[in-house]
Structure 1
């Protein structure tokens, strides 16, 4: 089979081409991906607007001093950390169709309330609870995607989902520019206050869409647009896994003795800090600190960073799917990117153009979000759902737990424009990422070989189980 034909088959819905599968996948893409992408778009829109507001007059109007901006981000991160694992476990007790939209309504309302802030402390309190609500989206969606899609389909969908969040970041800059030029001073409110109001309002109709049309999971869905045959097909497309275990000490021991938990949580802690240039809005802070840029320029120039992230995310998600799930390749790309970018910024006498080029290129590191969570879903495809849910939730919680103090230590706003300590920290984390990725490749391969060996033993001893489909992968 030629490469062109393989690529065309990869782009077509349905990896195994069972009868009715292409139609089913099209429905899943429409109802799951559209809602999850719009949800993540508003999630990042509501989250990234703080940086847009900060450089658009909020700093001066609310009298920010020192690293108060970073402290607000840290408070948000603390709420975000606390909510990660409980949010994923909540999906067992509250249907996703209810849980996700409810969280959207809460964070949309909190976003609008931010417009009434009188001092930095007000925003700190609001952002803590906003972090709790927004923690449901990223890890929850990756859990849902892993529940519906096969390994051959997962990377592309994870990439599309992650890109929607980056689009929210990019759109936020343009939105603030438009609001500042048209609404600044309207009804006695500054442009940055209108940004929070409008961002919150955008969230609400998307939440209503989720209440009505989100399909939950294959085993619990009651979506009216899926026939009984399609529900059965959806269940058959993913491997049978052990029933999830009770929430007791034995389950906790199972998690803490599993290499999946340590391997992927530490992977994402390291990888999460390689996103620091973009996640801490360093280009915005850099331009603000050197001066000479208008409000429109301060909001528009940084939008190139998530734009690069979108292209990189879709490229690597598609490529690793097409290459049979080699998600680990992104780890080496990120390591190389972070080291070179840091060297560009640290270089004596480097120009503004060089610095901006480095920050734009750093946006490509966002590709790790889709690929590494897809890698975790792939690796745990034969484990019980409860373990997969906790590992995915722990990955993001662990990363944000480190980021809560990491950004203050290395990327505080008052370290601009050079962020010298942050550059050296980036180089160290990128070297560590390359080493950890190599070790994780070995563990995944070792576990897969062990599973296949056990499957062969079962086939030899009890061939009737294989005939019935036990132990076979369903794709």
Structure 2
């Protein structure tokens, strides 16, 4: 079969056993739809503070100094603190209850924000909002890793990530529409309506999740899955992953004496900073402070949307390609390393050429592909590890990245460094080199584990000849 034919077969879906394609369609429908809607709403509720600030909140609540920055920092602290507890909660509580509960909590907190009368009130709310919203990103990657195989996971992780990037593109337009059409309605300021409507949006999504989200393969009671499909879903994942382990000192020792925690947490810390050009809106800041050109407000808002658009294309391309290639996620690490080095070097050396700088900032958006593929890589590598252990590593990845990013931004990408961001360009080159080296290290470790696994399987066959046929099929 040619490569093109194999790829076409992959896109259509290949059944290893009868009924598997139907099962995948069902879990795609209910898992991906809910998680993507949840992430989109998460983005709206998280970002609306900046939209409200420039839409009248600053003047009405008499903001002073860096109070907005302090609010965002407090949210980040709550978001970091909530990562690990929320993912551990998913191993104790039913996800179809936990996810909607967190949605209703952050939706309620968002609506309450509409009633605040001073910046201090927002500060208190945003900490707990960060705690509640911390469940979505890492929790979804944990759930995806519980349902999908190595050849399915990347594409689903990519679709989930792309939904957030789509929110980055269109969220601002949605917020602007609410502000412009409802300012003063029933005596309520437009920025207050912003929080009310964003909170209301979460309610139907939460109800959908409560009724139809399928939990995990071993705990699902979803009415749309037959008993045969539930058994098939369990058979598709390694039995070792569902073993029950207690959350005690032995478990903590297991986490911190394994290479998985150190390798993947550091991987995402490094990779997360390669997204800095895009996540810190450097293109918009470059345009705003351009040494010779002047851009209109609409241009300042619209031109940078090309960055997440490139991110969506790159994410879906690499997520699908690495699935098709059997889970070779490490390829993305090298692609991102090359992208970071080339874009930074050209911005440094060709800064006077506006077209080159624009092109490099757009290309830099391609590094968003690491979100889907690296969390899928962690899920792949830990497929035979305990679910609770895997949930801790996934949560720690995002927790570590956010903790570093909180000060990394100020050190290398502060707004007053615009338009050149010289220190940031060199920081990006350093991160890109480090990413290539670290990626190679993880590849070597995973290869070693795979070889050890083959030796262990051989021993099982020698001891129990009755299992020869089963192991051979696996």
- Deviation per CA, 1:300-345: give whole Å up to 9, x if none: 3332222111111000000111111110111111112222222343
- Please state how far the C-alpha of 1:224 moved relative to its aligned partner: 0.7
Is 1:43 matched with 2:42? yes
- Deviation per CA, 1:243-293: give whole Å up to 9, x if none: 131111111111101001111111011111111222223334444455955
Partner in structure 1 of residue 376 of structure 2:
374
Q: Structure 2 residue aligned with 1:452, among 451, 454, 458?
A: 454
Partner in structure 2 of residue 90 of structure 1:
89
Q: Tell me, yes or no, if the aligned pair for 1:70 and 1:408 is still in contact at 8 Å.
A: no
Partner in structure 2 of residue 161 of structure 1:
160
Partner in structure 1 of residue 236 of structure 2:
237
Is 1:442 matched with 2:450? no
Q: After alignment, is 27-36 or 447-456 more displaced?
A: 447-456
- Please state how far the C-alpha of 1:20 moved relative to its aligned partner: 1.2
Q: Distance in 1 between matches of 2:416 and 2:185?
A: 32
Partner in structure 2 of residue 301 of structure 1:
303
Partner in structure 2 of residue 247 of structure 1:
247
Q: Tell me, yes or no, if the aligned pair for 2:350 and 2:357 is still in contact at 8 Å.
A: no
Partner in structure 1 of residue 408 of structure 2:
406
Q: Distance in 2 between matches of 1:222 and 1:462?
A: 35
Partner in structure 1 of residue 98 of structure 2:
99
Q: Distance in 2 between matches of 1:161 and 1:2?
A: 30
Q: Tell me, yes or no, if the aligned pair for 2:91 and 2:387 is still in contact at 8 Å.
A: no
Q: Distance in 2 between matches of 1:93 and 1:236?
A: 21
Call closer, same or farther: CA 1:137–1:177 in 2, change over 3 Å. Answer: same
Q: Tell me, yes or no, if the aligned pair for 1:269 and 1:398 is still in contact at 8 Å.
A: yes
Partner in structure 2 of residue 7 of structure 1:
7
Call closer, same or farther: CA 1:458–1:449 in 2, change over 3 Å. Answer: same
Q: Distance in 2 between matches of 1:166 and 1:218?
A: 28
Q: Distance in 2 between matches of 1:63 and 1:284?
A: 27
Q: Which runs of 5+ in 2 are unaligned?
A: none
- Deviation per CA, 1:103-135: give whole Å up to 9, x if none: 111222223333445555444333221111111
Is 1:152 matched with 2:154? no
- Please state how far the C-alpha of 1:433 moved relative to its aligned partner: 0.7
- Deviation per CA, 1:49-86: give whole Å up to 9, x if none: 34444555656666666655444333222111111111
Q: Which runs of 5+ in 1 are unaligned?
A: none
Q: Distance in 2 between matches of 1:49 and 1:201?
A: 14
Q: Distance in 2 between matches of 1:285 and 1:341?
A: 17
Q: Distance in 2 between matches of 1:354 and 1:51?
A: 30
Call closer, same or farther: CA 1:417–1:125 in 2, change over 3 Å. Answer: farther
Partner in structure 2 of residue 215 of structure 1:
214
Aligned CA RMSD, in angstroms, stands at 2.4
Call closer, same or farther: CA 1:430–1:323 in 2, change over 3 Å. Answer: same
Aligned residues: 471
- Deviation per CA, 1:339-394: give whole Å up to 9, x if none: 22223433464355444333322221111010001101111111111111111111
Partner in structure 2 of residue 423 of structure 1:
425
Partner in structure 2 of residue 333 of structure 1:
335
- Please state how far the C-alpha of 1:2 moved relative to its aligned partner: 1.6
TM-score with structure 2 setting the length: 0.92
Secondary structure of 1:241's counterpart equals helix
Q: Distance in 1 between matches of 2:383 and 2:346?
A: 40
Is 1:258 matched with 2:258? yes
Partner in structure 1 of residue 78 of structure 2:
79
Q: Distance in 2 between matches of 1:97 and 1:347?
A: 52
Q: Distance in 2 between matches of 1:378 and 1:157?
A: 13
Partner in structure 1 of residue 139 of structure 2:
140
Call closer, same or farther: CA 1:292–1:23 in 2, change over 3 Å. Answer: same
- Please state how far the C-alpha of 1:30 moved relative to its aligned partner: 0.4
Secondary structure of 1:449's counterpart equals helix
Is 1:363 matched with 2:362? no
Q: Tell me, yes or no, if the aligned pair for 1:344 and 1:355 is still in contact at 8 Å.
A: yes
Q: After alignment, is 453-462 or 134-143 more displaced?
A: 453-462
Call closer, same or farther: CA 1:120–1:334 in 2, change over 3 Å. Answer: farther
Q: Distance in 2 between matches of 1:389 and 1:198?
A: 32
1:308-327 superposed matches below 5 A: 308-327=310-329
- Please state how far the C-alpha of 1:194 moved relative to its aligned partner: 3.6
Partner in structure 2 of residue 271 of structure 1:
271
